[in-house]
Amino acid sequence: MELGLLSLTVVVVLLALLGSGVWVAFALFGVAYVGLEVFTPLSADRVIGGSVWDALSKWSLAPLPLFIWMGEILFRTRLSRDLFQGLAPWLGRLPGRLLHVNVVGCGVFAAVSGSSAATAATIGRMSIPELRRRGYDDDLVVGTLAGSATLGFLIPPSIILIVYAVGADLSVARLFMAGILPGLMLIALFMGYVALWSLLNRDKLPAPEPRLPFFAKLRASAGLLPVVLLIIAVIGSIYVGLATPTEAAAFGVAGALILSALTGSLSWESFKQSLFGATRTTCMIGFILAGAAFLTTAMGFTGLPRELAAWIGDLGLDPVWLIVALTVFFVIAGCFLDGISVVVLTTSIILPMVMAAGIDLIWFGIYLVLVVEMSQITPPIGFNLFVLQSLSGRNILSVARAALPFFGVLCLAVVLLVIFPGLATWLPETMSGR
């Protein structure tokens, strides 16, 4: 069997199915079916049941619906309203002033929702009218939201990290630990760019906000504090080993319900909406994972991953050049697919190459999330761009132009991760060695 013929068939069938508009999961099932029926003596009907069951019965998937539900509950509380009010007094004196609310606010909400699009929609709905009213540069308002909303993929509890952990058979807790330092680094880089832009464009900033006494700042932040404490408790319990990711997720759901009740946001209608929303999202992800598992099994029988890995090994590519090539590939793929689809679609093909090159899979997971974040703000199918287009009333090209500097910041983050791999590996190694 020739590697070229099999690879070409996989690509053509996949593009044809995706181009026809079918769901991503159906496209994955279709490619796997063709691969088994055409290139192996096996019958696809005898393989599909076992591979799908094995994928969806993994215990590591248990936190997924719980974390999604936690985000859905808090999405319907007063968090978005309290976020601006709570953060603005503390950030108003930095270069860039209230533009930093977008960055830090997205970081906080990312730890709640785990979704890039939900982060962009929630923070953007709250901050765009407010910052426009105060006279901030519209390009930077939209750009900070486009870039910072991608933190929803990286900062734990990240849905996409759970999906990658299942596909790569890695510990969810270790991946969550690996995401914390790169997430903080990315927040610092975004805030650094905003500060630098502000120092170079002082004439485009409005007058500074009046100073508030310390205790007035604390009172303004009172509504935000319980949610921040809940996030710290959920993630911290995983990091220090007090709870498994599943136990921490269950605790997060209980805490979110209590907070929602205390703020008066919990009603039978909001409870049903949060539950139905979490169910829809979980089923969508589960369906994609089932298709990816069938594709992984099919590709294993065809021998494509093994042959690709051997081919990469024969090329003798330096790991850095392999990462450069994969970065271009993932950014292009992300122009046409959402982030979770990119991860599950490529894991079965890419991971054998990565392992053959001697690249750490924990580090690669964080790198992959960063590159997928870049794809969220690249046209034609950058989902954050579409969200912000609807919120800002601007056309998609102007939104993409506003997001371009933050695409550059994400590129810088990838470079720093390659130069300093310990950003992703140090914390998991330290915590596991305790």
Give the tens place of pLDDT for each residue, 234-279: 877 877 778 877 888 888 889 888 888 887 778 888 888 888 888 8
Residue 329 lies in a domain: yes
Provide the whole-model pTM: 0.75
SS in 3 state form for 66-86? HHHHHHHHHHCCCHHHHHHHH
Residue 342 lies in a domain: yes
Number of domains forming the structure of the chain: 1
DSSP state at residue 19: H
- Within the chain, what is the greatest distance between any pair of CA atoms? 75
Residue 10 lies in a domain: no
Residue 252 lies in a domain: yes
Among left, alpha and beta (phi > 0; psi -120 to 50; other), residue 316 is left
Residue 14 lies in a domain: no
pLDDT band for position 361 (50/70/90)? very high
Cβ(230)–Cβ(258) below 8 Å: no
Residue 72 lies in a domain: yes
Q: Report helix, strand and coil shares of the chain as percent, to nearest 5.
A: 80, 0, 20
Q: What is the pLDDT of residue 1?
A: 47
Residue 330 lies in a domain: yes
Mean pLDDT value of segment 381-394: 73
pLDDT band for position 367 (50/70/90)? very high
Q: Which residues contact 422 (CB under 8 A, 6 or more apart)?
A: none
pLDDT band for position 168 (50/70/90)? confident
Residue 7 lies in a domain: no
DSSP 340-389: HHHHHHHHHHHHHHHHHTT--HHHHHHHHHHHHHHHTTSSSS-HHHHHHH
Which residues span the domain enclosing 154?
20-432
CA-CA distance, 404 to 407, in Å (whole number)?
5
Q: Using CA atoms of 354, 355, 356, 360 in order, give the dihedral in degrees to the nearest 10.
A: 80
